[in-house]
């Protein structure tokens, strides 16, 4: 995103000194990108350089045809030179850092380990989609679906709460029809907007950042993070058709619209901030909590609307399972398993099932635990009193 912003500044700032500074900033950004060894970053760099080179070539053709007075972007050969410069940095930086540092070229050759490979991840997600293709598993249920499913082939080793591919994620949680409708609608809007006809530098910058975010969303999950959501929303706001293009209802043109919307947003953010501060006290050491939450912290945090599942997770992990509370803890563990199917939650579910007389369920969950988290399962089994086997 910084590279796209630098190209935009280069286009709108005519000062030679400013342009020299931006070119040096571009070299620094290339060095940072090479040091990150991000393969997604390399793909984004190729996309940005490729599109910018096409735009620069188009500008020079327009100058020749007297359509514009001067080009705004660097020459295409200067932009394309960023690619070999990147690979040169990727080759040199690991050697400067000393031994034991993985370089970008090494990552391209070896890739991720087998059980952490995106191909294994996507294969598991496709298997989940095939089980519920029409309605999906439900929003936020991918991690539970991954834990509770026994695959025929290799299994992704981590808790899988995102498909690392936006269309696949929508398909596995909402169903294939919804994914096709959402993604198809977005593609239709992009085609209708005809970004290849853009000439305005600011709108080109918005398209560039939007394109980088979408490309990233095909390999990771940036739109699940606030900063990327902010950029995505701002880009859509810049590119959205103006009111003069489409008719809007009359009440949208009133001057009171803005203050009311702003007041509503401030109220929502204020409530969310207060609720977050209140709930986060559970996860802090007693000495770091606010004075009013030092005692009975969990009880005071209950009743949250936004963070109810975080409160339930804290209650489950902080409470010891006993014969007296086994039934209640079992119900709580079953709900929390859909929020975060991690070893701590699974252990509570197994223990509460054992104490509630649900032996078959305890065996089933123990087997799923062994397959999903073999190291943690072995550690838990060894820590059981007397290494007691499951019933």
In a domain, 307, yes or no: no
Res 245: pLDDT: 47
pLDDT of residue 328: 93
What is residue 388's predicted lDDT score, i.e. its pLDDT?
A: 53
Whether residue 308 is contained in a domain is answered as no
Residue 324 within any structural domain of the chain: yes
Same structural domain for residues 105 and 121? no
Distance CA 128, CA 107 (A): 29
Quick one: 280 exposed, middle or buried, by C-beta within 10 A (0-12, 13-18, 19+)?
middle
One domain, residues 326 and 351: yes
Is 249 a member of any domain? Answer: no
Name residues of the chain where pLDDT drops below 70. Answer: 14, 63-71, 97-115, 242-258, 385-391
Q: Judge whether 304 lies within some domain.
A: no
Neighbours of 130 (CB within 10 A): 10
Residues in Cβ contact with 133 at an 8 Å cutoff, skipping those fewer than 6 apart: 171, 175, 176
Contact 49, 83 (CB under 8 A): yes
Task: Write down the pLDDT at residue 313.
Answer: 93
By CB neighbour count within 10 A (0-12 exposed, 13-18 middle, 19+ buried), where does 287 fall? Answer: exposed
> Residues 77, 139: one domain?
no
Amino acid 62: pLDDT: 72
Residue 295 domain flag: no
pLDDT of residue 122: 93
Number of domains in the chain: 3
Instruction: Look at residue 186 in the predicted model and tell me its pLDDT.
Output: 92
Distance CA 215, CA 41 (A): 10
In a domain, 323, yes or no: yes
- Quote the pLDDT of residue 246: 47
Q: Are residues 14 and 99 in the same domain?
A: yes
Let me know: does 346 contact 367? Beta carbons within 8 Å: no
**24 and 89 fall within a common domain:** yes
Domain that holds residue 323: 319-387
Dihedral pair phi/psi, residue 303, rounded to 5°: 95, 5
In terms of domains, do 49 and 119 share one?
no
Q: What is the pLDDT of residues 232-259, one digit of tens each?
A: 988 888 888 765 544 545 555 555 566 7
| Nearest C-alpha neighbor of 338 from the set 173, 49, 87, 144 | 144
**Over the range 28-65, which residues count as b (16 or more CB within 10 Å of their CB) and which as e?**
ebbbebbbebbebbbebbeebbebbbebbbbbeeeeee
Q: Residue 180 has which token pair?
A: 């096709």
Question: b/e per residue, 83-92, with b = 16+ CB within 10 A?
Answer: beebbebbee
Which residues are within 8 A (CB) of 375 and not within 5 positions of it... i.e. 6 or more apart?
none
Q: pLDDT at position 180, please?
A: 96
- Say if residue 104 is in the same domain as residue 118: no
Judgement on whether residues 45 and 15 belong to the same structural domain of the protein: yes
Single out the residue of 91, 71, 81 nearest to residue 45, CA to CA: 81
Q: Tally helices (H) and strands (E) across the chain.
A: 19, 0
């Amino acid at each position: 995103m910084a590279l796209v912003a630098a190209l935009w500044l280069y286009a709108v700032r005519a000062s030679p000194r400013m342009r020299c500074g931006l070119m040096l900033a571009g070299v620094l950004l290339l060095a940072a990108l090479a040091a990150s060894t991000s393969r997604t970053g390399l793909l984004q760099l190729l996309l940005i350089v490729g599109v910018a080179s096409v735009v620069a070539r188009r500008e020079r053709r327009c100058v020749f045809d007297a359509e514009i007075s001067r080009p705004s972007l660097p020459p295409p050969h200067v932009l394309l030179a960023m690619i070999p410069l990147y690979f040169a940095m990727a080759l040199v930086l690991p050697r400067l850092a000393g031994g034991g540092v993985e370089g970008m070229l090494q990552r391209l050759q070896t890739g991720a380990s087998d059980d952490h490979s995106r191909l294994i991840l996507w294969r598991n997600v496709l298997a989940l989609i095939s089980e519920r293709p029409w309605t999906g598993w439900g929003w936020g249920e991918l991690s539970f679906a991954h834990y509770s499913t026994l695959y025929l082939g290799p299994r992704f080793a981590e808790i899988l709460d995102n498909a690392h591919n936006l269309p696949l994620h929508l398909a596995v949680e909402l169903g294939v029809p919804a994914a096709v409708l959402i993604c198809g609608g977005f593609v239709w809007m992009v085609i209708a907007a005809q970004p290849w006809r853009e000439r305005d530098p600011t709108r080109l910058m918005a398209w560039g950042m939007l394109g980088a975010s979408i490309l990233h969303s095909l390999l990771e999950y940036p739109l699940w993070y606030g900063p990327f959501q902010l950029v995505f929303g701002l880009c859509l706001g810049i590119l959205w058709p103006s009111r003069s293009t489409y008719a809007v209802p009359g009440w949208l043109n009133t001057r009171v619209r803005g203050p009311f919307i702003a007041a509503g947003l401030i109220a929502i953010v204020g409530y969310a901030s207060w609720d977050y501060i209140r709930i986060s006290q559970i996860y802090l050491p007693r000495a770091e909590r606010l004075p009013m939450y030092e005692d009975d912290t969990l009880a005071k945090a209950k009743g949250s609307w936004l963070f109810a599942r975080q409160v339930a997770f804290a209650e489950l992990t902080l409470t010891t399972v006993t014969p007296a509370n086994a039934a209640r803890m079992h119900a709580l563990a079953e709900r929390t398993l859909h929020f975060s199917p991690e070893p701590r939650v699974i252990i509570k579910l197994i223990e509460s099932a054992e104490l509630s007389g649900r032996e078959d369920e305890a065996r089933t969950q123990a087997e799923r635990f062994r397959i999903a988290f073999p190291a943690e399962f072995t550690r838990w089994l060894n820590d059981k009193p007397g290494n007691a086997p499951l019933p």
